[in-house]
Chain A
Amino acid sequence: MIISIASGKGGTGKTFITTNLARSLESNVAVYDCDVEAPNSHLFLRPDVLGKTSFVTTVPAIDLEKCTFCKKCMEICRFNAIAILKENALVFPELCHSCGGCFRICEDRAINEVDRILGDIETGKAGSIDLVHGRLGVGQVMAPRLIEQVKSRMKEDVVNIIDAPPGTSCPVITSIKNSDFVVLVTEPTPFGLHDLKLAVEGVRALNLPHGIIVNRAGKGDDQVSAYARKENIDILMEIPFDRSIAETYSNGEIYVDIHPEMKKVFKALFDKIQEQIHHRRCN
């Protein structure tokens, strides 16, 4: 089972939900932090690190001895990563999407594939929770490729929880596609509502079942609930606006570790999600 925790707006509580849900389930649960630009789940789960691998892609290196400066590689590259001059060839690896076009088009065998590290992937264990998190290298742009690598480590028979990045563009879509259920975390404010609508458009475009969690409820306005009612989307849970929750979070503590009695609330959330997945499969 794959449950994604997403949101349009950042800072609404994706990592809070991810870590508390994972901790409340106790067994057979794995967390995949796909917010590879700003991964935070490990700060709360504090796993024992079991392994770390570099995420490597291949980029071209042009052998000037063999290059005839025919420019075919420059022409096939849609990303302007190669510039062929009169008697020189330049590669801009940070622009390369590793599509392999230049290697294939070169008739002079002048292009070698060289490794480029885009980031790394760390695996660890926090109690019974498996954690995999990707970390995009500073200055790198290929977040979706790294996210795919993080997701490729998912297992069949456990509850896989994905901590997704904010927004609605390619890194988010890469993170949440193929999920059995997407939890959209928002807050009851004009910004929260606006970005929730975008996120709903996104999950609808992918035809994924989804529900809403309203964080910091009680402050702001009631427009999010009105929207959810109108669009017939379940509000799975409401978390009150409470400074003490924010304080716990600020120290890197998981709320249910300090308030174990709250685990049942997250277990109930999980039951609701499971029910909805089941219901959808039956229809």
Chain B
Amino acid sequence: MIKEIVILSGKGGTGKTSLTACFAAMAENKVLCDADVDAADLHLLSAPRIKETTEFKGGNKAVIQSDKCTQCGICLEVCQFNAVDEDFQVNALDCEGCGVCVDLCPEQAIKFPSVVCGQWFVSESRFGPMVHARLGIAQENSGKLVTQVRQEARNVCRESQHDLIITDGPPGIGCPVIASIGQATAVLAITEPTVSGIHDLDRVLALTDHFNVPAMICINKFDLNLEQTAAIEQLAEQKKISVLGKIPFDPIFIDAMVAGQTVVEYEQHSKASLAVQQIWQNAMADRAMENTRLM
């Protein structure tokens, strides 16, 4: 039975990747998965050696062949994304890849080639197997790439007979986030005691609720604002979600990152390390992880 814990936050920069890397350093028999394909950072701490690289074809883009085009204007009219300009050229950044112009062009003058949007990698990191990706700049379909990366992480997990996937999720609550939580065992939302941290945590919890994925919470930099921390604990209690632990505001996270290490490796007995260790133990024991949906 493979379980997957996905680290999310809503607001960016609350410590998803630092926490994920700490978990990676402590857990046994796990596969690491970086689902933040848009701005992946986990590899900076886990030092993966890439074993396999695969091109990711995210979708198709319309290309008008000017020699066949009679400039009848049908593509201009049907495109809902204003991607066709007056000179009958398709702006790739605006093209949604719906193919409606391709199908409705009476001259069959529009090609629809698939586009390489990025790459994904199967690697051996210093914490064990890791699946990660790089979405090309300004590319779409990050949700599809996230799905691909998570699928591959499951394959690697099965093959290596491991039983846990630790997934570093993307910020926000949109397409890539939705793709990163489908069929996950549980989500761990890491937040901070700021008005924006709480606002975005609330959005993440609405999302996990919407898709029926159990959630857990931990609070980073908790002593920055004790009132806001209390507000988070209150929110958690209302929603009957466990607060697994609280990490103090501590620049040691930055020092560890600069050293290319996780906090639990960098200074094992620091308060921040102890808090992270506690959070990890609590997460693995939490009822959210008992969720036995089929992976």
Contacts and interface: CB of A to CB of B under 8 A. Distances in A.
Nearest to B175: A141
Contacts of B98: 78-79, 97, 99, 101
Nearest to A43: B195
A138 B207 contact: yes
B137 A78 contact: no
Interface string A194-213: 11001001100110000000
B140 interface: yes
B199 A166 contact: no
Contacts of B99: 76, 78, 101
Nearest to B134: A198
Interface stretch (B6-14, B157-165, B262-270, B275-283): B6-14
A247 B228 CA distance: 11
A9 B39 contact: yes
B41 A195 contact: yes
B34 interface: no
Interface in B215-252: 221, 224-225, 228, 249, 251
Interface stretch (B65-73, B122-130, B166-174, B284-292): B166-174
Contacts of B224: 243, 246-247, 250
Contacts of B78: 100-101, 104
Interface in B23-58: 38-39, 41, 44
Contacts of B207: 138-139
Contact of A189 (B103, B199, B257): B257
A60 interface: no
Given A79-B98, A191-B41, A195-B39, A104 B249 contact: no
B172 A165 contact: yes
A252 B193 CA distance: 11
A250 B228 contact: yes
Contacts of B195: 40, 43-44, 250-252
B41 A99 contact: no
Interface residues of A, number: 60
B199 A43 contact: yes
A240 interface: no
Interface in B165-207: 170-178, 192-197, 199-200, 203, 206-207
Contacts of A105: 103-104
B134 to A, nearest CB: 9
A113 to B, nearest CB: 12
A79 B175 CA distance: 14
A104 to B, nearest CB: 6
B41 A205 contact: no
B138 interface: yes
A101 B101 CA distance: 9
B273 interface: no
Contact of A11 (B11, B103, B211): B11
A167 interface: yes
Interface string B101-120: 00110000000000000000
Nearest to A77: B98
B148 interface: no
Given A97-B98, A221-B258, A250-B224, A140 B174 contact: yes
A226 to B, nearest CB: 14
Given A8-B39, A37-B174, A15 B196 contact: yes
Nearest to A135: B203
A247 B199 CA distance: 17
B41 A250 contact: no
Nearest to B17: A191
Given A97-B96, A100-B80, A9 B174 contact: no
B295 interface: no
A99 B103 contact: no
Given A104-B78, A243-B224, A167 B171 contact: yes
A76 B258 CA distance: 50
A143 B193 CA distance: 26
A219 interface: yes
Contacts of B135: 168-169
Interface string A86-112: 000000000001111100110000000
Contacts of A36: 174
B138 A10 contact: no
A99 to B, nearest CB: 3
A227 to B, nearest CB: 15
A38 interface: yes
A190 B175 contact: no
Given A99-B96, A169-B135, A37 B177 contact: yes
B200 A139 contact: no
Given A78-B99, A138-B206, A168-B138, A10 B11 contact: yes
Contacts of B171: 10-11, 37-38, 165-167
Given A12-B12, A38-B172, A99-B96, 16 more contacts: A8-B39, A9-B12, A11-B11, A12-B13, A101-B99, A105-B104, A138-B207, A138-B210, A139-B207, A166-B13, A168-B137, A169-B135, A190-B41, A220-B254, A220-B258, A247-B224
